[in-house]
Structure 1
Amino acid sequence: MSARPEPELTEPCRTCEELDHEEAVARAQRDGSRETDCRVLRRRHLAAEHGDGA
């Protein structure tokens, strides 16, 4: 059996982390509108900065 190459470790994206945290806070505060805003902003950020067209 051949060994699998280790995945490259990359720095986590600060913007992604901040949006994830903000979404979690909004969820804890039961602020559905802000929670949705965070998800939309994260998708836009992913598309613009990470090339994720999903």
Structure 2
Amino acid sequence: MSAPEEPEPCRTCQEFDLDEAVARSEHDGSRETDCRVLRQRHLAADHDKRSG
């Protein structure tokens, strides 16, 4: 029996994660928070779930 295939990563989620990491490296806490909030909204709207 083969392992279940993992879903293809969401490009929008990946972009939010990358933007957040860049903001963190630049010590831009406000932008870092914005990225997290926007990703949460994206998850709720497009994935019908919230990360947690």
**Which structure is higher in helix share?**
2
Q: Which runs of 5+ in 2 are unaligned?
A: none
Q: Which has the higher Rg, Structure 1 or Structure 2?
A: 1
Q: How many residues align?
A: 51
Q: Which consecutive unaligned segments of at least 5 residues does structure 1 have? A: none
Q: Report the TM-score when normalising by structure 1.
A: 0.84
RMSD: 1.5
Q: Following TM superposition, by how much is the alpha carbon of 1:48 offset from its aligned partner in structure 2, in angstroms? A: 0.3
Q: With structure 2 as the length reference, what TM-score do the two structures score?
A: 0.86
Runs of 4+ in 1 over 6 A off after TM superposition: none
Q: Percent identity?
A: 65
